[in-house]
Structure 1
């Protein structure tokens, strides 16, 4: 595995995101020079939090503006970069009115980043953040099998988010495969499960939504949902290993720790926070009531196809 040197510059896209901030922090702790992209440099408070992720960093975090919907913004962002960790992608808390709101920036944004990497001539490898949703999670997935990196979901059977991650990953593999020899760059993909853990970017994320809803007792019940979960710090570490390990190039990597029922999460939260005044719901909601709720709650509607299902993944490659 390559070691960080003063000359090693890494670009992290969507640097202010839940996963990306942990990646930035760990890269800085390992001595890398890190450049991060944000959609705007005007948010001074957000920028300040990013700059303070690793106070003892050897190199100060560099931040530049880039947007998935603006292809021209990516060539300056990747200038002189050796590794790119492409994390930026839309992640909604509820089903969007138009799935193109997610799919278009995810797919076209990924293509724009890869094209800029080729044009830069300095990029050796791109690590793309995909999802278990692109492997075997969601409507149409066979819950009798254990999924591996060889499996793919059929996009038409997925919700908008799952479809956006699947199509973006497929577009990345297709693009790299078709590059002429003189333009070849390496690609490694991280497919994490439901990512949980400490929030260090100073703002709520979709990944934190389940915990937030339980603590706020948004509903007096919990849905019978099972999550393949993974710690965000493990996800960040996996990105960095995939960035430099020779064997990681050209492969997908399933990042999953275990499976947890929402009721189990609620019980753990209740035990931890009850003394602080939180009244976390721990009773499963009857199916008919959940279905009625989904008629006017788009978040519940989004998860209805997963009720009672357990999706299993083989994490042998990274264990």
Structure 2
């Protein structure tokens, strides 16, 4: 692979994707991002300008996960494809297939197009949720890349199922399809870090809800956390290092309770102190509220969960030293204020 051959990044308008594109551009690579509509390209360029990137090596192709059109052209001449595009709703849909189908089918569309174009490697953005929800695990289990979520569990949200099903479909495709690209998977934890524009991720929308005083109390849950800047570097290293082929990488550093996210918001922006959650709700109260609030249903699988994990592989194989959880959340909050979004 040469710096002139384009790195294709799908879902270029996404939070993670924009940081990934920026990381490749800063390494001197040409990048071709996919967008569903060509009029979204300028917004991506503007966001990348905040990272100090040179837009001259960035181009775009139009392709949608919901259809086959455009994907062959999008991956033409590429040796590396980074597939970040996948739906992540803040409120869970009544029909799980609204999330599952585009995640799974879109992943397979990208892999099929990459196979036809003789792409060498596909780096898939999965999620830590495809790791943390197994069945029959002992108390105190330490999670790693060897763990897979059991998507047949009845208590899982459509989003968790979608990420798990899509990743498993990708591994099956890579294993059974002649001429398939090498596959490497990045499994980020709850992604924090700086927003680049007003097209916010679900994780950033959470701060906006807190800043509006929507939740005077927080569920008693905690998340493994990662900074988006580290997620971006993980994608770059996974794309270029030979030893990354055929592996998954759990990317996270520390954990934060949802209540602590509110406290970080209050610490960094004291004018919002009166808006953030004041205490933690008992689990039974959360389950009752979820009957009326779709956003609450998203976090039901987290109640009572302890997700201790190891990230030795990301450090050893890819040589990354990750930012801490507090630093990642602080950067998220400060960026939202800088953008005048809270």
- Is residue 117 from structure 1 mapped to residue 114 from structure 2 by the alignment? yes
1:255 matched to 2:258: no
Q: Match of 2:217?
A: 221
Q: Is the 8 A contact 1:274 1:280 kept in 2?
A: no
Mapping for residues 1-319 of structure 1, pairs under 5 Å:
5-43=2-40, 46-50=43-47, 52=49, 55-57=52-54, 59-121=56-118, 123-137=119-133, 144-157=140-153, 158-180=156-178, 183-275=179-271, 279-319=275-315
What CA distance in whole angstroms lies between the structure 2 residues aligned with 1:237 and 1:55? 16
Name the stretch that deviates more: 19-28 or 48-57: 48-57
TM-score (norm 2): 0.86
C-alpha RMSD of matched pairs (Å):
2.1
CA gap of 1:63–1:202, structure 2 versus 1, over 3 A, is: farther
Q: CA deviation at 1:56?
A: 4.7
Q: How far apart are the structure 2 equivalents of 1:138 and 1:297?
A: 26
Structure 1 residues 58, 109: CA separation in 2 closer, same or farther (over 3 Å shift)? closer
CA pair 311-24 structure 1, distance change in 2 beyond 3 A: same
Contact 1:136 1:142 in 2 (8 A): no
**Contact map agreement 1:26 1:237 (CA 8 A) in 2:** yes
How many residues align? The count is 313
CA deviation map 1:19-64 (0-9, x unaligned): 0000011111110000000110124752452563555527431011
SS at match of 2:116: helix
In the superposition, the TM-score normalised over structure 1's length comes to 0.91
Give the distance between the partners of 1:138 and 1:304, measured in 2 at CA: 15
Q: CA deviation at 1:242?
A: 0.3
Change in CA separation of 1:15 and 1:278 when aligned onto 2, cut-off 3 Å: farther
Structure 2, unpaired ranges of 5+: 316-342
* Distance in 2 (alpha carbons) for counterparts of 1:49 and 1:215: 26
CA change 1:244–1:125 in 2 (3 A) is same
Give the conservation status (yes or no) of the 8 Å contact 2:129–2:149. yes
Following the alignment from structure 2 to structure 1, what is the Cα–Cα distance between the partners of residues 41 and 238?
A: 32
SS of 1:162's partner is: helix
**SS across alignment from 1:85:** strand
Cα distance between partner residues in 2 of 1:48 and 1:237:
19
Per the alignment, do residues 291 and 277 of structure 1 end up closer, same or farther by CA in structure 2, a change over 3 Å counting? closer
Tell whether the 8 Å contact from 1:51 to 1:60 is kept in structure 2 after alignment. Answer: no
